[in-house]
Chain A
Amino acid sequence: MSWLSDFFGDPANWSGPDGIPARLLEHLEFSALALALAMLVAIPLGLLIGHTGRGGVIVVISANLARALPTLGLLVLFVLLLGTASILPVIIPLVLLAIPPILVNTFEGIRGVDPELRDAAYGMGLTGGQVLGRVLVPVALPLILLGLRLSAIQVVATTTVAAYTGLGGLGRFVIDGFATKDYASVVGGSVLIVLFALAVQLVFTLLQRTTVSPGVSRRVKVRQVASGRETT
């Protein structure tokens, strides 16, 4: 455990371009950028395919590719192709990795909405767009958020590995630490990575709590209606 105090107690680790705050920020930047780009593609696509029922094959292909493609191999390939001058070779594979869980879950969420509900919405005179925005999305939100969370966790984990390519992020503490046999740095870096992942989980839990209707998550305390008029 002295490794931990060595790592976190060393003032040198708290400043400079390879200090903890800088690395944390890099990790956050890469992850957030990759996730944002993936959302920009996958959410509209998932909504569209789920709502129209056309193009489901794209979702299937995407899901299968996600299973088949080795992320690390992809990462190395892009770095070899594009060099390390920009963050592009890291961002592209991260985005590709992040798209399938969002796409698949958004699609499944929208598809899975009770057809009776969809029917009732149209029957009341909502337009196609209103049905999607006012009914399907709020009801599918838990699944859409699940997709985002799965993606975020994968991206955060893979960003760690991206340190191999010479880019920054929390992974550097681990990789550089191994290289220099600085085990305090390895352990400290690992702890940071775990904490970061937990923080991401927490953020999504809070997001779920605040955005999903209690009527959908069924997290409402049943209040007694103070009247005897309930007949049925």
Chain B
Amino acid sequence: MITFDAVTKRYADGTVAVDNLSLEAPTGEITVFVGPSGCGKTTSLRMINRMIDATEGRILLDGDPVQDIDPPKLRRGIGYVIQQAGLFPHKKIVDNVATVPLLLGWDRGKARSRAMELLERVGLDPAMGERYPFQLSGGQQQRVGVARALAADPPVLLMDEPFSAVDPIVRTSLQDELLRLQAELNKTIVFVTHDIDEAIKLGDRVAVLRVGGRLAQLADPKTLLSEPADDFVREFLGHDRGIRRLQFVGTEGLRLRTDLTVPAGFSGGSPEPWVLAVSDDGRPVGWLRGDGGGEPEPYGTFRPGRDSMRSALDAALLSPSGCAVAVGEDGKVAGVATREALDEALAEAADG
């Protein structure tokens, strides 16, 4: 656990970058620092590994003040990932990843094989280990940056806008990869971003900072969206806060109808305006009019219990019927969430 205990940072020119910050980043969770540019996120993060020293207050790592630990020793036990990856250009990828293990005195062979293993873990071909950083794309370099930070298996990971410089598609895949890794590794992660969507997606807890380095709100993403502490947080969360909140509403309680499916060869005769044609092996084919006219129309699917209400609503909006198709792990149709069912669930979500 990382504890900020009334931490203030005043730079030499008088700028107060962090003002009396007290919070905890619990072990095994992702704590996100989010806020507008210049609000002191980077400064806060860098005080943890003493890249910057606090002016007042203390930062504790599992109860020990970081102030008492020699910086190089402290940093070797904390993974650090920055925006431009900061890979060593003169070293091959594998040697970049092996940096900290080698500093810690591992033998070369062990450090290298560990590095190869990590490249695979972050979704890179181990053959890339023999390349130099300039031969990799920005997204690949960021993956290497993550692998390098994880190499010596530190319990704590600090990430400063690690995915901000890559394009949106790559960013999404890097975020997914981080969540997947975290599910396996359970690191204590402090993640800095200015992107509220990223904060909500990744954070177990989100600390919203305001300019001047003061904590505006610390909450889990769901609470943050439903109960912003003040106007600043509300404004920072943006206008589609309500829709985004549906991300945190489950679909396990959604009422499903199983009487709206018909075989693929359906030729009309249903009293319903729309019915779902299903193939012989149980997969959705498309929506058909109840009178059997026309071609199968597009449909959207969601996985009940696993996907959020936002996905279910999205699936409903993709279909001419306004219904969302529920599918199981195997891709087979489990039922249909009608507009009425969705409406009930939304009403419940709005109450809770």
Contacts and interface: CB of A to CB of B under 8 A. Distances in A.
Nearest to A226: B127
B308 interface: no
Contacts of B128: 225, 230
A3 interface: no
Contacts of B73: 125
Given A125-B75, A222-B135, A232-B174, 16 more contacts: A122-B51, A122-B75, A123-B75, A124-B148, A125-B103, A126-B72, A213-B90, A213-B132, A215-B90, A215-B133, A218-B132, A220-B131, A225-B128, A230-B124, A231-B123, A231-B139
A120 B80 contact: yes
A123 B49 contact: yes
Nearest to A215: B132
Interface in B92-141: 92, 99-100, 103, 123-125, 127-128, 130-135, 137, 139-140
A139 B100 contact: no
Contacts of A226: 127
A220 B89 CA distance: 12
Given A120-B80, A126-B103, A215-B90, A227 B125 contact: yes
A215 B80 contact: no
Interface centre among A125, A216, A225, A227 (most CB of B within 10 A): A125
9 contacts: A116-B86, A117-B86, A120-B88, A124-B76, A125-B71, A125-B73, A126-B103, A130-B103, A138-B88
A120 B183 CA distance: 26
A225 B127 contact: yes
Contacts of A130: 103
B60 interface: no
Contacts of A225: 125, 127-128, 131
Interface in B45-86: 49, 51, 71-77, 80, 82-86
A127 interface: yes
Interface of A: 114, 116-117, 119-127, 130, 135, 138-139, 213-216, 218, 220, 222-223, 225-227, 229-232
A122 B159 CA distance: 15
Nearest to B130: A223
B173 interface: yes
B6 interface: no
Main secondary structure, interface of A, reads loop
A209 B349 CA distance: 66
Contacts of A119: 51, 82, 86
A120 B139 contact: no
Given A123-B51, A232-B143, A139 B89 contact: yes
Nearest to B100: A124
A209 to B, nearest CB: 14
B91 interface: yes
B170 interface: yes
B103 A124 contact: yes
Contact of A135 (B88, B170, B173): B88
B140 A220 contact: no
B84 A116 contact: yes
Contacts of B82: 116, 119-120, 123
A122 B297 CA distance: 58
Contacts of A135: 88, 90
Contacts of A114: 84, 86
A127 B130 CA distance: 26
Given A116-B84, A120-B82, A139-B89, A125 B100 contact: yes
A126 B127 CA distance: 27
A122 B46 CA distance: 11
A171 to B, nearest CB: 40
A232 B139 contact: yes
Nearest to B171: A232
Given A126-B103, A230-B125, A231-B123, A213 B72 contact: no
